[in-house]
């Protein structure tokens, strides 16, 4: 551990010196690093798919879609728009301040810490780093120990493609994180669970370090079968693809549970079965298209959730598990008890509870009774329901008639609220996430108003009152001595 402490000390020192030298402020430098990230992913696509398969059993298509392709696009967006993003924003000043000018410039925080997660170990590491670099910071990445092959690969590749004096990687678990958090950072970006999020924020508080916390929650999916009956096949496909087609449900924006009217429940379940079979065949374990559970610990957690006898009794599809292969079959539950663990914890796995309601309008109250999730999904064409969902529930985001895809839309801020997190990123928001918006105002030494200065008297008081109210005509009268001014 002492060696690790020394490494961290040294790394921080070097990064701070590099930042102070101004190297990372140069747009050229930032673009070069962003270009290097794209190159790094392009050159090592196969290796990256390999490690993602080793750590998570991810198929290369999934790996590309959710991680590699996504990172390359994120980096090229930053490359293409950086010149625009760094332009200072002019502020219009009220006439009162003429001829002063105002603007806001985005300045890098300095030396930032990115704590990544294991489920999308490449994209959840590189994407925040893209934001940090675009904004001109030096950055240290702590890659997750639960995806050891991906983390080892990043540890090897990053120094050979990127500026090692400014961008560093450390692999490790909670003990490494603890050491890192004892130091002062200019910003901390964390992706993970709410429980750890609280620890991160408390550690950041010691140094008044601002944080972005991308956490999770139970993302509900509302199916309003009345209004989408024509497209129900699509609905089921999208939900299945979103749940089981992306890291086997181990994603912060995965569908956690479904809400549907009781009358439609059995039809819905019957529609899921052929879709799941079409995706994964009769034996999903052998399909090669279903990610595995990341560790034995998480497997045992999911096992425990399912082994609750009342939950077990609610299994209507799937349910088989293989600890050696870290495999959990795509599983559907029908109305597990609402006080069971599986209905109160983020599932983060391939188990899908379907909760039935008498009327789909009740979904609003149901969602409100739980902590604010990262995403709410709703399949509906009913404008009233859409409005109710938007105005009566709160979540990081809302997506109508699809799943997960809001992640890809980099014109939308990606982040949580309440228990699901604070702060946001993606696209320009990543740049802003790692920038301090500094106000700059410039006054003129040419003109001066006596009324600004003591000793105070009634004239000055009235002058300033009128000036504040931008009552310029009355101000003129006051100055010409044609009025004593107004009390208010």
Looking at residue 207, the DSSP 8-state letter turns out to be T
Residue 381 sits at the vertex; the CA angle it makes with 385 and 271, to the nearest 5 degrees, is 110
Catalytic residue from among 214, 261, 329, 432: 214
* CB-CB contact of 139 with 111 (8 Å): yes
Q: What 8-state DSSP symbol labels residue 456?
A: P
Q: Name which position in 168, 243, 424, 474 contacts other proteins (CB under 8 A).
A: 424
Q: Which of 67, 252, 261, 329 is catalytic?
A: 252
**What are 157's two structure tokens?**
């590749």
Residues 362-391 that bind other proteins (CB under 8 A): 368, 390-391
- Shortest gap between Cβ of 316 and other proteins (angstroms)? 21
Q: What is the torsional sign of CA 180, 184, 188, 190?
A: positive
Task: Note whether 131 binds other proteins by CB under 8 A.
Answer: no
Binding of other proteins by 20 (CB under 8 A): yes
Residue 149 Cα distances to 82, 109, 130, 458, angstroms: 32, 31, 21, 75
Distance, CA of 49 to CA of 13 (rounded, Å): 34
**Binders of other proteins in range 393-422 (CB under 8 A):** 394-402, 405-406, 408-414, 417-419, 421-422
* C-alpha to C-alpha distance for 13 and 16, rounded to whole angstroms: 5
User: Would you count residue 32 as binding other proteins (CB under 8 A)?
Assistant: no
Min dist CB 234 to other proteins, Å, is: 5
Smallest distance from the beta carbon of 335 to other proteins, in angstroms?
Answer: 26
Tokens 């209004």 label which residue? Answer: 227
Please say which residue, 220 or 423, places its beta carbon nearer to other proteins: 423
Q: How far is the CB of 202 from other proteins (least distance, A)?
A: 4
Contact status: 453 vs other proteins (CB under 8 A)? yes
N-term to C-term CA, the chain:
67
Joined together, the tokens standing for residue 264 give 């439609």
- Measured distance CA(50)–CA(39) in Å, rounded: 18
| The binder of other proteins chosen from 27, 338, 441, 476 (CB under 8 A) | 441
Q: Tell me the helices (H) and strands (E) count for the chain, helix number first.
A: 18, 18
- 214 belongs to the catalytic site: yes
Binders of other proteins among residues 232 to 261 (CB under 8 A) are: 234, 237-238, 240-241, 244-245
CB-based contacts of 25, cutoff 8 Å, min separation 6: 108, 136
Instruction: Kindly state the greatest CA–CA separation across the chain.
Output: 93
By CB under 8 A, the residues from 146 to 175 that bind other proteins are none
Among 175, 312, 456, 484, binds other proteins (CB under 8 A): 456
Q: Is 433 an annotated catalytic residue?
A: no
Note whether 444 binds other proteins by CB under 8 A. yes
Site residues for other proteins, window 103-122 (CB under 8 A)? 104-105, 107, 109-110
Q: Which one, 335 or 366, has the nearer CB to other proteins?
A: 366
Which residues are within 8 A (CB) of 301 and not within 5 positions of it... i.e. 6 or more apart?
Answer: 349
Residue of 13, 22, 26, 173 interacting with other proteins (CB under 8 A) = 22
What six digits make up the tokens of 330? 């795509």
Smallest distance from other proteins to CB 155, Å = 26
Residue of the chain from 16, 165, 388, 436 that contacts other proteins (CB under 8 A)? 436
Residues with catalytic function: 214, 252
């Amino acid at each position: 551990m002492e060696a690790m402490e020394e490494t961290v000390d040294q790394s921080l020192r070097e990064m701070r010196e590099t930042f102070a030298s101004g190297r990372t402020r140069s747009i050229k430098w930032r673009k070069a690093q962003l270009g290097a990230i794209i190159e790094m992913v392009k050159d090592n696509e196969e290796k990256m798919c390999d490690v993602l398969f080793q750590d998570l059993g991810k198929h290369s298509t999934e790996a590309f879609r959710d991680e590699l392709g996504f990172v390359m696009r994120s980096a090229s967006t930053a490359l293409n728009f950086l010149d625009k993003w760094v332009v200072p924003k002019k502020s219009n000043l009220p006439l009162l301040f003429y001829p002063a000018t105002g603007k806001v410039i985005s300045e890098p925080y300095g030396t930032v810490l990115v704590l990544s997660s294991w489920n999308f170990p490449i994209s959840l590491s590189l994407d925040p780093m893209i934001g940090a670099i675009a904004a001109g910071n030096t950055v240290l990445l702590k890659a997750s120990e639960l995806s050891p092959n991906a983390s080892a690969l990043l540890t090897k590749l990053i120094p050979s493609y990127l500026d090692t004096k400014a961008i560093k990687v450390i692999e490790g678990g909670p003990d490494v994180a603890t050491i890192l958090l004892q130091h002062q950072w200019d910003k901390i970006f964390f992706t993970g669970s709410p429980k750890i999020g609280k620890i991160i924020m408390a550690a950041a508080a010691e140094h008044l370090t601002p944080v972005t916390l991308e956490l999770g929650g139970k993302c509900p999916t509302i199916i309003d079968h009345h209004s989408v009956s024509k497209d129900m096949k699509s609905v089921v496909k999208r939900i299945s693809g979103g749940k089981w087609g992306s890291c086997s449900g181990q994603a912060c924006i995965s569908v956690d549970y479904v809400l549907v009217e009781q009358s439609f429940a059995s039809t819905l379940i019957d529609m899921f079965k052929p879709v799941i079979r079409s995706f994964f065949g009769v034996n999903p374990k052998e399909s090669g298209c279903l990610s595995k559970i990341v560790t034995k610990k998480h497997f045992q957690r999911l096992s425990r959730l399912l082994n609750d006898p009342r939950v077990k009794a609610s299994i209507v599809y799937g349910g088989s598990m293989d600890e050696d292969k870290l495999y959990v079959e795509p599983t559907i539950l029908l109305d597990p008890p609402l006080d069971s663990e599986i209905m109160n914890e983020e599932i983060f796995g391939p188990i899908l509870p379907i909760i039935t309601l008498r009327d789909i309008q009740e979904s609003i109250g149901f969602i409100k009774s739980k902590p604010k999730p990262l995403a709410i999904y709703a399949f509906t064409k009913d404008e009233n329901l859409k409005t109710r969902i938007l105005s009566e529930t709160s979540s990081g985001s809302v997506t109508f008639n699809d799943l997960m895809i809001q992640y890809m839309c980099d014109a939308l801020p990606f982040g949580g609220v309440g228990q699901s997190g604070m702060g946001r990123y993606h696209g320009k928001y990543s740049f802003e996430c790692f920038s301090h918006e500094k106000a700059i105002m410039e006054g003129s030494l040419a003109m001066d108003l006596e009324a600004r200065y003591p000793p105070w008297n009634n004239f000055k008081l009235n002058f300033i009152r009128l000036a504040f109210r931008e009552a310029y005509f009355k101000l003129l009268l006051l100055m010409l001595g044609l009025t004593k001014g107004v009390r208010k």
